């Protein structure tokens, strides 16, 4: 199974702990990384430049995924409570419960590509089925967290879903803002695309007994995708922050090049 890859003895020689340390500037950068794209999407939507606003919203969602992904592993450099509240805030801005996603994501790491791995449900599908599966995917994640999660997880999930209801209600019936309505609609669509973009792209067509995922090596592509596709590296060393994964990739190439041979694109 994929777990055998995780215990490859060669990995013991890979230096990674030094990459987990973030400077204060790193932390601030991670906390603000999505803000320019959110502001730009609002400005473009305000001037009804929706084609370009969609591009900015896509980049905001990508950066938001980077933020919550690091928060799932408590790897942004905040206190544990700080990570929890960051997930709560992004749950409202991006819609859904990020603690529900965290619960399934950590299970994904423990049971990568196995039957218990709900997050990777779309990985074995053809690309078009992964797209069609999209609207079901967030429901499945939330249902799994609410039925199998601890009391702590359930409290966070319920609080975040309630906050979503209040937020959407305010946007639709109180604020009278076309920009905010646009944002809510686009975030809903983005959530329905995560099964394809966040799961299928990094796990499809992998040999589940030998390979746990795909990765990226083109530096330009990794920069414009905010390092989000160094997925094998993340699975092998999940507490390494995203901003350091490109460094980890170079170290892995020297020791275990066969584990990082499948590219995302």
pLDDT class of 10 with cuts at 50, 70, 90: confident
User: What is the mean pLDDT of the segment spanning 138-146?
Assistant: 97
User: What is the mean pLDDT of the segment spanning 219-244?
Assistant: 94
Average pLDDT of every residue of the chain? 93
pLDDT: is 29 or 261 the higher one?
29
DSSP assignments along the chain, one per residue: -THHHHT-GGGGG---GGGG---HHHHHHHHHTTHHHHHHHHHHHHTT-HHHHHHHHHHHHHHHHHHHHHHHTT-SSS-HHHHHHHHHHHHHHH-S-HHHHHHHHHHHHHTTTSTT-SGGGGTTS-HHHHHHTTTHHHHHHHHHHHHHS-HHHHHHHHHHHHHHHHHHHHHHHTS--HHHHHHHHHHHHHHHTHIIIIIIHHHTT--TTT----B---HHHHHHTTTTT-HHHHHHSTTS-GGGHHHHHHHHHHH-GGGG--B--
pLDDT at 185: 97
* Backbone torsions φ then ψ of 37, nearest 5 degrees: -70, -35
pLDDT at 144: 97
Check pLDDT > 50 for residue 84. Answer: yes
pLDDT class of 112 with cuts at 50, 70, 90: confident
pLDDT class of 98 with cuts at 50, 70, 90: very high
* Backbone torsions φ then ψ of 165, nearest 5 degrees: -60, -45
Check pLDDT > 90 for residue 5. Answer: no
User: What is the mean pLDDT of the segment spanning 7-15?
Assistant: 85
pLDDT class of 260 with cuts at 50, 70, 90: confident
Residue 263, strand partner residues: 215
pLDDT by residue (tens digit) across 168-192?
Answer: 999 999 998 999 999 999 999 999 9
User: What is the mean pLDDT of the segment spanning 224-238?
Assistant: 93
pLDDT at 209: 63
C-beta of residue 96 within 8 angstroms of C-beta of residue 68: no
186: Cβ contacts below 8 Å, ≥ 6 apart: 41, 54, 57
pLDDT by residue (tens digit) across 39-65?
Answer: 999 999 999 999 999 999 999 999 999
pLDDT class of 1 with cuts at 50, 70, 90: very low
pLDDT at 171: 97
Check pLDDT > 70 for residue 4. Answer: no
C-beta of residue 242 within 8 angstroms of C-beta of residue 69: yes
What value, to the nearest 5°, has the Cα angle with vertex 67 and ends 55 and 113? 95
* Backbone torsions φ then ψ of 166, nearest 5 degrees: -65, -45
pLDDT by residue (tens digit) across 215-225?
Answer: 999 999 999 99
């Amino acid at each position: 199974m994929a777990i055998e890859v995780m215990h490859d003895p060669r990995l013991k020689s890979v230096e990674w702990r030094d990459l987990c340390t973030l400077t204060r500037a790193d932390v601030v950068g991670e906390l603000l990384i999505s803000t320019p794209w959110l502001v730009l999407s609002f400005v473009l939507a305000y001037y009804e430049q929706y084609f370009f606003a969609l591009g900015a919203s896509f980049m905001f969602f990508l950066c938001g995924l980077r933020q919550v992904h690091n928060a799932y592993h408590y790897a942004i450099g905040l206190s544990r409570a700080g990570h929890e509240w960051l997930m709560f805030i992004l749950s409202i801005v991006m819609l859904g419960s990020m603690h529900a996603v965290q619960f399934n994501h950590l299970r994904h790491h423990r049971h990568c590509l196995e039957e218990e791995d709900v997050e990777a449900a779309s990985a074995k599908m053809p690309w078009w089925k992964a797209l069609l599966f999209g609207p079901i995917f967030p429901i499945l994640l939330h249902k799994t967290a609410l039925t199998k999660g601890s009391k702590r997880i359930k409290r966070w999930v319920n609080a975040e879903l309630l906050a979503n209801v209040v937020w959407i209600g305010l946007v639709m019936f109180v604020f009278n803002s076309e920009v905010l309505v646009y944002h809510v609609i686009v975030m809903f669509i983005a959530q329905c695309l995560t099964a394809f973009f966040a799961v299928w792209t990094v796990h499809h067509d992998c040999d589940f007994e030998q390979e746990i995922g795909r990765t990226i090596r083109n530096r330009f592509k990794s920069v414009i995708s905010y390092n989000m596709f160094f997925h094998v590296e993340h699975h092998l060393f999940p507490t390494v922050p995203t901003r350091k994964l490109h460094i980890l990739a170079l170290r892995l190439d020297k020791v275990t090049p066969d584990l990082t041979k499948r590219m995302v694109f």
